[in-house]
């Protein structure tokens, strides 16, 4: 079998690094919105007389929005935790690289380290994206020796 092209690997790694970055903030951002609903302040919603605060108006808004925003938060948590298929894809491409490595000997870790730090060196804009390294680590690869960038 032929080794994957470095440009294709870069495209995959960059795309999945963005997925990793976006997923890591999903539940946090949904929680921030939920907390804003829970923290609706009666002082923000005055009644027809500007000097008097209307706690009923604040409660009405909170009750109307609390359930859908809580449901969205729970969904965001589930999305962030459900990365099994993403990790399967990461394993697939990394296993392909290992199986088709030009290094005749060495462990899977040595072969993948060589791919990331040597073969991909001229293809990366910077270094291996940290999000790709994170997903690869989550997929079970030793990424200790990978040179990674902040993006």
- Rounded CA separation 118/38 (Å): 51
Residue 140 has what pLDDT?
Answer: 96
pLDDT (tens digit per residue) in 96-120? 999 998 876 789 999 999 999 999 9
Domain boundaries, the chain: 6-149
What are the backbone dihedrals phi and psi of residue 53, each rounded to the nearest 5 degrees, phi first?
A: -85, 145
Collect contacts of 38-41 with beta carbons under 8 A, ≥24 apart: 38/62, 38/66
Stretches in the chain below the pLDDT threshold 50: none
- Rounded CA separation 136/113 (Å): 12
Residue 82 has what pLDDT?
Answer: 84
Look up residue 74 and give its two tokens: 């729970």
């Amino acid at each position: 079998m032929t080794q994957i092209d470095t440009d294709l690997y870069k495209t995959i790694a960059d795309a999945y690094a963005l997925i990793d970055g976006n997923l890591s903030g999903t539940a946090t951002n949904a929680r921030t919105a939920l907390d804003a609903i829970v923290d609706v302040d009666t002082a923000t919603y005055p009644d027809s007389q500007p000097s008097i605060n209307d706690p009923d108006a604040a409660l009405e808004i909170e009750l109307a929005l609390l359930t859908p925003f809580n449901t969205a938060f729970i969904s965001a948590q589930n999305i962030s935790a459900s990365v099994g298929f993403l990790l399967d894809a990461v394993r697939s491409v990394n296993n392909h690289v290992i199986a088709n490595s030009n290094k005749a000997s060495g462990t899977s870790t040595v072969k993948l380290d060589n791919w990331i730090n040597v073969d991909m060196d001229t293809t990366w804009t910077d270094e291996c994206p940290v999000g790709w390294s994170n997903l690869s680590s989550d997929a079970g690869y030793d990424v200790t020796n990978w040179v990674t960038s902040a993006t």
